[in-house]
Amino acid sequence: MNRRRWLQAALLLAAFGASATARAGLAEQAPLVSLGGTPLPASTTAGRVVLVVNVASYCGYSGQLSDLELLYNRYRSRGLVVLGVPCNQFGQEPGTASEIQNFCSTRYGVTFPLLAKQDVNGPLRSGLYRYLVDSSVGGRSDVRWNFEKFLVGRDGRVLARFSSATSPLDAVVTTAIEVALGR
């Protein structure tokens, strides 16, 4: 890993008050509901680093699902959870919960948790996305497209935001994850 990239990510996370102390998990910031419609157990995210990504089956970026699965498998034993959040606000996720689950698992081998479909923008923006977007890192600016990524620390604070075009395997993302995990 490039030392300069690591230092940049460490400084970025430090600037936003990243803490190794687990005070509140992401589930305490907003209720999380699984794609199957049941509440996601708080233990799924409590004390973990979480990468939240709005996903869509018919998006040009849907190939990132494979990369997100690679990240999940690489870092989950160290405390990373990837949360996929289906969203049809950009017209690219019209499927039902079972169609979305089938697409993600069959085509891309997704095993990370998928949440219920939700709005990421506008007056019906979900509580999760209100929390992410309204954070200092979120900058109160709308999600611009599918596969935008938010990194949340073990304490529930939003640490970083990455554009749709930034691959989940890009060094800036993996470095930020490693710093948040405590290397």
The whole-number pLDDT of residue 31 equals 84
Q: Give the least confident one: 24-28, 99-103, 113-117, 174-178.
A: 24-28
Catalytic sites, residue numbers: 59
Mean of pLDDT over the chain: 89
* Phi, psi for 125 (deg, rounded to 5): -50, 135
The whole-number pLDDT of residue 121 equals 98
Mean pLDDT, residues 50-65 taken together: 97
Q: Which fold has domain 3-181?
A: Glutaredoxin (3.40.30)
Confidence of residue 28 (pLDDT cuts 50, 70, 90): confident
Mean pLDDT, residues 103-128 taken together: 97
Reply yes or no on whether the pLDDT at 72 is more than 80: yes
Reply yes or no on whether the pLDDT at 6 is more than 80: no
Confidence of residue 24 (pLDDT cuts 50, 70, 90): low
The whole-number pLDDT of residue 7 equals 44
Confidence of residue 115 (pLDDT cuts 50, 70, 90): very high
Reply yes or no on whether the pLDDT at 89 is more than 60: yes
